[in-house]
């Protein structure tokens, strides 16, 4: 296999919702109450039920020189168009040699957690969730058949309504939902509570994968305001290991044995030790904790039910035998600050070239195609899905991938020779909140 022969499907990317995302899909009785963009103190802010949010920052820095990363983007004109325009996104995917993409939301929160906050307006919140789902499926994914894996949001406050939304979207070919890795931290029942059984059942019945992105529940903590922000960025993906252990011991796997979930943007290098520790824990403590896996080990549950993915993880790829190569996928993370666009194939190839072709194919696309019921070959033809074929399309169209300087926004404020600290970032967040508040 050569680099040009790779077929890359990313199961962790993000869409910045365009300003009109909700308007066309909101029910008539809620017209005027849909989430919408307003200009406020120089920022594009999303407004819903009188509350505003406008932070983009590191969520949308793709295309900038790395020296300009920070909290700069204040509006759509400060972002690369592929962050929010689906046709431009496909152009950027082609330039990066990426065939398929699963995109998490931005304004609603990666798991739609923003819509779970409005206890006084559950009806309009459900309508907004459904409007988002319809925009995401019909206006984003279906605008480029075969290029996206659609993913729905659900209402957490009503498991029966959530199951109904899963069933509704599954009828249109949606086989993924986004969900918190720990909804209890948002004031909802634990994943160990039978409250969620209608959700698990609907997912199992429809072969829907539960996708839990880092930061939607358990979060990496800033050690101190003086700590370099690099320390927090380093630990961010691994923070999901706490949730991974919780999900291993959760009851839904016994009730719904075909159910699958994904730990999104968590990397894979930490998994061998977690599984070793989980099996050790079970051997040493099951006699008094009453834990039972029906004769299986905790590591078996993980390898059978939990999909993981990585951006760049040489250590994990060297230890796939301890992780399980049939449940590992790849991610680009476009347009976030960790993404490898437009050089993802080159980065991937450096990590993969020592692996057998069969393993490369599994990790880059086959596992994802199987688990997400995704078959782009049937739509596009396999010969048109390789890195080489996609980049040829981008070259023919003249897609420019060179870094763009001075895209505008809030210029980064840094002192020469002084590390950017967690305190600096927290101050930027507070300033953004103050500028967003009405």
Q: With 90 as the cut, is the pLDDT of residue 73 above it?
A: no
Q: With 70 as the cut, is the pLDDT of residue 55 above it?
A: no
Of 105, 100, 117, 61, the C-alpha closest to 408 is 61
Average pLDDT of the segment spanning 305-311: 98
Of 205, 155, 145, the C-alpha closest to 179 is 155
- The per-residue pLDDT for range 347-397, each reduced to its tens digit, is 999 999 899 999 999 999 999 999 999 999 999 999 999 999 999 999 999
Domain enclosing residue 326, as ranges = 3-436
Q: With 90 as the cut, is the pLDDT of residue 218 above it?
A: no
Whether the predicted model's global pTM rises above the 0.85 cut: yes
| Confidence tier at 412 by pLDDT (50, 70, 90) | low
Mean pLDDT of the chain: 94
- What pLDDT is recorded for position 331? 98
Q: With 70 as the cut, is the pLDDT of residue 32 above it?
A: yes
**CATH number where 253 lies:** 3.20.20.140
Average pLDDT of the segment spanning 396-402: 97
Classify each residue of 39-72 as buried b or exposed e, where b means 16 or more C-beta atoms within 10 Å of its C-beta. Answer: eeeebbbbbbeeebbbbbbbbbbbbbeeebebbb
CA dist 346 and 351 (Å) reads 9
CB within 8 A of 121, min separation 6: which ones?
49
Provide, rounded to the nearest whole percent, the portion of the chain with pLDDT above 90. Answer: 83
Q: Indicate the Cα dihedral angle 331, 332, 335, 341, nearest 10°.
A: 180
Q: With 90 as the cut, is the pLDDT of residue 3 above it?
A: yes
Average pLDDT of the segment spanning 228-242: 92
- What pLDDT is recorded for position 438? 65
Q: With 70 as the cut, is the pLDDT of residue 58 above it?
A: no
Provide, rounded to the nearest whole percent, the portion of the chain with pLDDT above 70. Answer: 97
* Between 163 and 54, residue with greater pLDDT: 163
Classify each residue of 366-401 as buried b or exposed e, where b means 16 or more C-beta atoms within 10 Å of its C-beta. Answer: bbbbebbbbebbeebeeeebbbebbbeebeeeebee
Average pLDDT of the segment spanning 45-68: 83
Average pLDDT of the segment spanning 190-210: 98
- The per-residue pLDDT for range 240-281, each reduced to its tens digit, is 999 999 999 999 999 999 999 999 999 999 999 999 999 999
* Residue showing tokens 């008094």: 288
- What pLDDT is recorded for position 428? 77
In the chain, the number of structural domains is 1
CA dist 314 and 330 (Å) reads 12
């Amino acid at each position: 296999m050569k680099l040009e022969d790779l077929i890359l499907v990313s199961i962790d990317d993000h869409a910045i919702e365009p300003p009109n995302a909700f308007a066309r899909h909101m029910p008539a009785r809620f017209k005027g109450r849909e989430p919408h963009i307003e200009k406020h103190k120089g920022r594009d802010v999303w407004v819903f039920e009188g509350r505003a949010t406008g932070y983009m920052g590191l969520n949308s820095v793709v295309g900038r020189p790395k020296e300009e990363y920070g909290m700069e983007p204040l509006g759509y004109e400060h972002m690369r168009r592929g962050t929010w325009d689906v046709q431009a996104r496909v152009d950027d995917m082609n330039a990066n040699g990426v065939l398929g993409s699963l995109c998490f939301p931005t304004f609603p929160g990666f798991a739609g957690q923003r819509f779970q906050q409005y206890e006084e307006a559950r009806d309009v919140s459900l309508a907004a969730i459904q409007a988002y789902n319809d925009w995401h499926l019909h206006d984003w994914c279906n605008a480029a058949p075969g290029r996206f894996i659609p993913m729905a949001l659900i209402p957490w406050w009503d498991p029966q309504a959530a199951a109904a939304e899963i069933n509704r979207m599954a009828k249109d070919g949606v086989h993924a939902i986004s969900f918190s890795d720990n909804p209890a931290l948002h004031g909802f029942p634990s994943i160990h509570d039978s409250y969620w059984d209608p959700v698990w059942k609907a997912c199992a019945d429809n072969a829907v994968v539960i996708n839990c992105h880092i930061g939607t529940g358990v979060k990496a903590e800033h050690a101190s305001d003086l700590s370099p922000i690099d320390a927090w960025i380093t630990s961010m993906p691994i923070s999901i290991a706490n949730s991974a252990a919780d999900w291993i011991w959760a009851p839904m796997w016994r009730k719904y044995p075909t159910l699958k979930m994904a730990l999104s943007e968590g990397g894979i290098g930490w998994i061998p030790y977690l599984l070793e520790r989980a099996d050790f824990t079970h051997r040493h403590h099951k006699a008094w904790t009453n834990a039972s896996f029906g004769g299986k080990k905790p590591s078996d549950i993980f390898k059978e039910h939990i999909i993981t993915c990585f951006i760049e993880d040489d250590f994990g790829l060297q230890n796939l035998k301890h992780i399980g190569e049939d449940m590992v996928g790849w991610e680009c993370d476009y347009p976030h600050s960790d993404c490898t666009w437009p050089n993802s194939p080159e980065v991937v190839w450096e990590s993969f070239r020592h692996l057998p072709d069969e393993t490369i194919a599994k990790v880059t696309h086959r596992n994802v195609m199987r688990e997400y019921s995704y078959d782009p070959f049937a739509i596009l033809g396999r010969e048109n899905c390789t890195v080489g074929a996609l980049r040829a399309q981008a070259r023919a169209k003249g897609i420019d991938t060179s870094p763009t300087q001075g895209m505008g926004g809030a210029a980064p404020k840094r002192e020469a020779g002084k590390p950017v600290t967690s305190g600096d970032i927290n101050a930027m967040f507070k300033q953004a909140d103050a500028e967003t508040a009405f």
